[in-house]
């Protein structure tokens, strides 16, 4: 009775504190810096490269995973509800959602094996001089991990499964459909190394599941697709002038801007991330259940991702007994556009922003329509950097349904941080893809136009650091769409490993045995690190 009384008290206290403090947000928010498992590092939405009738949605969580950091590595948190939400009627409220829940399985509970993932060849047994009481020839190490289930999966001591649920309707009239009904979906583990996982790409590809009706899913550990010189950005925009051809810190010359090569270190190189990917038909997401052309208002949808935890978790005094969790969940973080909470929302509002709903974002509009980041750049470049006056109406396309993303005549809807995607814009072929995405429409050179990139959705290869920097410096306003505003960047133009051209599009997870990171002072690498 005393236990349950304390649990009830804890429930009341945590519920009150969560409501009062607005819980958490991205890692850049004070509280979620302590909750990496609920941290949405990046969110992507784009028309699938190989099938223009579908959209791929990717939610990355748990940042900067060191590939060698065993022995339990990086499971998804079974307490967290991971969700992707779609608004298709321009009111910034959920019309469709996909929820993902994970379950952990300890497969060898009676085993003395101390490692979560291990394997070698066809398996290894104790040698002729095996110390007592284990006789020679006793199986010790299972075969190398080559499968997620059945033969070849014996070394997966810690394995995770997950479910996928589709939700239609709002908070009151929602209907739920278990898309994974009758299927066991396995999350792909991290790449431990060549002995344990001798063909990791083949193993990772076995985690792609076709759920029928045109829906595919994949979940697991992958290369972190984001790339940036984080050290320079967060050291109060302290870019190395030697990394820039103009010798103006943070301003790329014409050749640097065109080439995929990096001029400085990619701080994310060599790190992994946990990813959830789902590919669905466009007709499943639009308001009327049909695909639409680029100039049709119904072609554009708004998308965002969230994580949520139980409001209360109470641990037992008995070691090994499961903890008790409440059924009521509280939102921990959300993400629509990249870098909004990280570089735009004020520090004192970050936690509140993370737990708020997009439909209520008018309270944060002053941050977006007068971004402090632009003023930081202005300080370091003074009169050489003309900027628009506030309020910044040129930035409204990031927070409302407006051209250049949405078709003319689309209802703008309320101010809301949603990643808006015009599903009528087909994917750009790899040879023509440009890291600057939608900004290519502004340079007067129609030969390089790439309308299928950020902020029209976001592909894994889009250079959102450079695009956001230029957007806050006014390039969406024709009066300020000129040098140097059009050439700001961090000097990191590409990822350290190749992306895939088919679902789930992410690069394979780095090997814990053989990975490396790019250090400050190195120029990084493009395509593949040595």
Can you give the pLDDT at residue 247? Answer: 83
Can you give the pLDDT at residue 208? Answer: 98
Q: What is the pTM of this model?
A: 0.93
Q: Give ∠ CA 284-288-290 in degrees, rounded to 5.
A: 60
Can you give the pLDDT at residue 28? Answer: 54
Interacting residues of 252 by C-beta distance below 8 A, sequence separation 6+: 244, 245, 246, 263, 466, 487, 488, 489, 491
Can you give the pLDDT at residue 24? Answer: 29
Can you give the pLDDT at residue 328? Answer: 92
Q: Give the CA distances from residue 81 to residues 326, 329, 338, 372, in Å, rounded to whole numbers and listed in that order.
A: 13, 8, 21, 33
Contact 88, 355 (CB under 8 A): no
- CA-nearest of 217, 205, 275 to 54 is 217
- 149's torsion region: left (phi>0), alpha (psi -120 to 50) or beta? beta
Can you give the pLDDT at residue 529? Answer: 42
Contact 327, 310 (CB under 8 A): yes
User: What pairing do the DSSP bridges indicate for beta strands 81-87 and 300-310?
Assistant: antiparallel
Joined tokens for residue 273:
């991330």
Contact 261, 526 (CB under 8 A): yes
Can you give the pLDDT at residue 110? Answer: 65
DSSP letter for each residue of 362-383: GGGHHHHHS-HHHHHHHHHHGG
Can you give the pLDDT at residue 26? Answer: 39
Whether the link from the prior residue into 391 is cis, omega within 30° of 0, is yes
- CA-nearest of 351, 353, 356 to 368 is 353
Can you give the pLDDT at residue 443? Answer: 86
Residue 190, classed as helix, strand or coil, is coil
Can you give the pLDDT at residue 383? Answer: 65
pLDDT under 50: residue ranges of the chain: 1-26, 526-530
Q: What is the pLDDT of residues 391-435, one digit of tens each?
A: 999 999 999 999 999 999 999 999 999 999 999 999 999 999 999
């Amino acid at each position: 009775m005393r236990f349950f009384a304390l649990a009830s008290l804890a429930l009341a206290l945590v519920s009150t504190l969560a409501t009062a403090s607005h819980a958490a947000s991205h890692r850049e928010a004070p509280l979620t810096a302590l909750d990496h498992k609920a941290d949405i590092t990046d969110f992507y939405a784009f028309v699938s490269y190989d099938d223009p009738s579908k959209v791929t949605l990717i939610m990355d969580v748990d940042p900067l995973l060191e590939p060698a950091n065993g022995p339990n590595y990086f499971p998804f948190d079974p307490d967290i509800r991971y969700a992707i939400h779609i608004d298709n009627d321009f009111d910034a409220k959920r019309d469709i959602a996909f929820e993902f829940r994970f379950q952990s399985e300890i497969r060898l509970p009676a085993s003395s094996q101390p490692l979560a993932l291990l394997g070698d060849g066809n398996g290894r047994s104790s040698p002729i001089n095996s110390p007592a009481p284990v006789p020679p020839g006793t199986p010790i190490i299972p075969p190398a991990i080559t499968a997620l289930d059945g033969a070849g999966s014996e070394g997966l001591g810690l394995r995770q499964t997950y479910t996928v649920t589709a939700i239609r309707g709002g908070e009151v009239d929602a209907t739920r459909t278990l898309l994974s009904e009758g299927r066991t979906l396995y999350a792909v583990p991290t790449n431990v190394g060549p002995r344990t996982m001798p063909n990791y790409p083949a193993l990772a590809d076995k985690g792609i599941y076709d759920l029928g009706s045109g829906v595919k899913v994949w979940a697991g550990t992958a290369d972190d697709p984001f790339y940036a010189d984080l050290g320079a950005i967060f050291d109060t925009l302290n870019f190395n002038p030697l990394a820039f051809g103009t010798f103006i810190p943070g301003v790329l010359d014409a050749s640097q801007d065109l080439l995929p090569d990096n001029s400085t270190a990619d701080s994310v190189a060599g790190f992994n991330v946990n990813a959830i990917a789902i590919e669905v038909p466009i007709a499943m997401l639009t308001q009327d259940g049909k695909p639409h052309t680029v100039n049709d208002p119904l072609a554009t949808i708004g998308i965002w991702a969230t994580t949520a935890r139980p409001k209360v978790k109470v641990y037992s005094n008995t070691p090994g007994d499961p903890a008790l969790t409440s059924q009521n969940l509280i939102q921990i973080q959300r993400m629509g556009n990249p870098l909004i909470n990280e570089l735009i929302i004020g520090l004192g509002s970050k936690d509140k922003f993370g737990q708020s709903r997009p439909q209520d974002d008018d309270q944060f509009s002053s941050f977006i329509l007068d971004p402090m980041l632009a003023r930081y750049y202005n300080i370091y470049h003074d009169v050489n950097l003309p900027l628009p006056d506030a309020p910044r109406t040129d930035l409204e396309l990031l927070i409302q349904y407006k051209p250049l993303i949405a078709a003319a005549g689309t209802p703008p809807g309320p101010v809301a941080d949603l990643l808006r995607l015009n599903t009528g814009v087909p994917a750009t072929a790899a040879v023509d893809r440009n890291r600057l995405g939608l900004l290519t429409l502004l340079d007067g050179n129609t030969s390089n136009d790439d309308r299928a990139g950020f902020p029209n959705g976001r592909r894994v290869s889009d250079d959102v650091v450079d695009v956001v920097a230029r957007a806050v410096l006014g390039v969406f306003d024709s009066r300020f769409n000129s040098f140097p505003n059009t050439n700001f960047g961090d000097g990191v133009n590409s990822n350290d490993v190749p992306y895939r051209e088919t679902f789930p599009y992410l690069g394979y997870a780095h090997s814990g045995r053989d990975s490396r990171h790019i250090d400050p002072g190195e120029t990084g690498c493009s395509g593949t690190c040595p």
